Amino acid sequence: MNRTAIATKGLRKSFGQQTVLDGIDLTVQSGTIFALLGPNGAGKTTLINILSTLTKPDGGTASVNGHDVVREREDVKRSISLTGQFAAVDDMLTARENLRMMCRLSGFTPADARSRTAELLKLFDLEASAGKLVKTYSGGMRRRLDLAVSLVASRPVLFLDEPTTGLDTVSRRALWDMILELRDRGMTIFLTTQYLEEADLLADRIAVIAGGRIVASGTAQELKSRFGGELIELHGADEEILAVYATDGSLQHIRNTLNELAEQVSPDTRISLRKPSMDDVFVALTTTSTTSSSTTSTTSTSSTAKVEEAVQ
C-alpha cells in the first residue's frame, strides 16, 4: 500500500486583502504524479511555494515526506527538488558545467560530481550538447537541463511549477516522457499546469483549483465521468458551438434529447455527439457562478443539463 508523500488540511494563505488559498485539503500518494490544474491566479504557485517552504501558510497544516512544512522546514528541504516556471541555469556555462557546479554545491566529491553529471546528461538526452553554452540552447533543451539540475540530489519528491509553459509541442512531449520515467523510478511528482492534455496524459490523480479552493479531484476518467455519457453540441452555420448538453449516456436519453432539440433549433443548426474531455471538466469547474448561471444560447430543454451544471 502506497504511503502518503504530501498532505494538506485546511491550508490558507492571503496576501493583504486577497485570499489566495481558502482551505486546501489534498493527499498525494508516494510514487505517483499529481497534477494541480487551474487558471492563472488560482493559487497553484502559492501552494507549491508553501509545500516547498518558500512561503509560510496563514493557517492549516501541510506535510511533505512526513515532515511539517512549518516546524520541520529543513527536513522538508532535504526531501524535495523544485523546478519553477523559468529556467534557473547559467547561460554562460555549458550544461556539463552547470551540472557539475550544482553537484559540488550539493556536497559531491569531484569524482561523484562527474559521475552524477554524466548520468543526468544521459537521462535527459543532453550528451551531444553537453559542451555547448546554455545560451545557444532551444527552450526545450534549457527546460530539460533545468529539470536535470533540480534532480542532482536525487530526492524523493519533485515539484514542477508549469514545467512545459512556452515549449513547442515536440519539446513538451519529450519532457512528458522524462517526467513519466521519473515516476516509474519511484519519484513522487507534484506538478501544476494550465494544459489540460498534460494533466490528462501524465497524472495519476488530478485536482482542479479555482478561487483558492479545490473544486474537484480524482483520476482523469473519474472527472470526465461526472458528465455522464455523451455530450450533445449545437453548432451554428459557421460551426461556432452554441451550446453543450450532457446526457446520462443511455440510448433512450440521447434519443429523447435529440428529438427535443430538433424541434427547437433552427434548420441551420448542426447537432453532434462526442465523449466528454478534460476541456469540459476544466471549463465547468472553473467557471464563476455568474458565468455558470448565464445561458450559452437561447435554446433550453428540460431533459438536459448544460455542461456547466453537470458537475455540480
pTM value is: 0.76
| CA dist., res. 157 & res. 257, Å (int) | 48
Burial of 235 (0-12, 13-18, 19+ CB in 10 A): middle
Helix (H) or strand (E) holding 260: helix 251-264
Residue 196 sits in the same domain as residue 237:
no
Per-residue model confidence (pLDDT) at position 170:
85
pLDDT given at position 70: 97
Distance from C-alpha of 224 to C-alpha of 285, rounded to nearest angstrom: 11
Q: Which residues contact 54 (CB under 8 A, 6 or more apart)?
A: none
Question: What is the model's pLDDT at position 113?
Answer: 95
Distance CA 88, CA 86 (A): 6
Task: Please give the pLDDT value at position 98.
Answer: 94
**HSE-CB for 113 with a 13 A CA cutoff:** 15
Task: Give the residues of the chain that fall short of pLDDT 70.
Answer: 1-2, 85-87, 227-229, 237, 242, 246, 248-249, 287-312
- Identify whether residues 177 and 232 lie together within a single domain: no
Query: What is the Cα–Cα distance from 187 to 199, expressed in whole angstroms?
Result: 17
Nearest to 310 by CA among 261, 260, 243: 243
Say what the pLDDT of residue 18 is.
94
The pLDDT score that the predictor gives to residue 11 is 98
| The pLDDT value given to residue 132 | 96
Range of the domain at 112: 4-224
Q: Is residue 261 in some structural domain? A: yes
Cell of 116: 552524477
Q: List pLDDT tens digits, range 191-221.
A: 998 888 899 999 999 999 988 999 889 998 8
**How many domains does the chain divide into?**
2
Nearest to 198 by CA among 151, 150, 162: 162
State how far the Cα of 12 lies from the Cα of 275, in Å rounded to an integer. 36
Q: What is the mean pLDDT of the chain?
A: 84
Of 180, 202, 224, which one is at a domain's C-terminal end? 224
The CATH number linked to 121 is 3.40.50.300
The reported pLDDT for the residue numbered 228 is 61
Specify the pLDDT at position 86.
Answer: 63
The pLDDT of residue 303:
34
Instruction: Find, among 190, 117, 133, the residue nearest to 159 by Cα.
Output: 190
- In this structure, are 137 and 259 located in the same domain? no
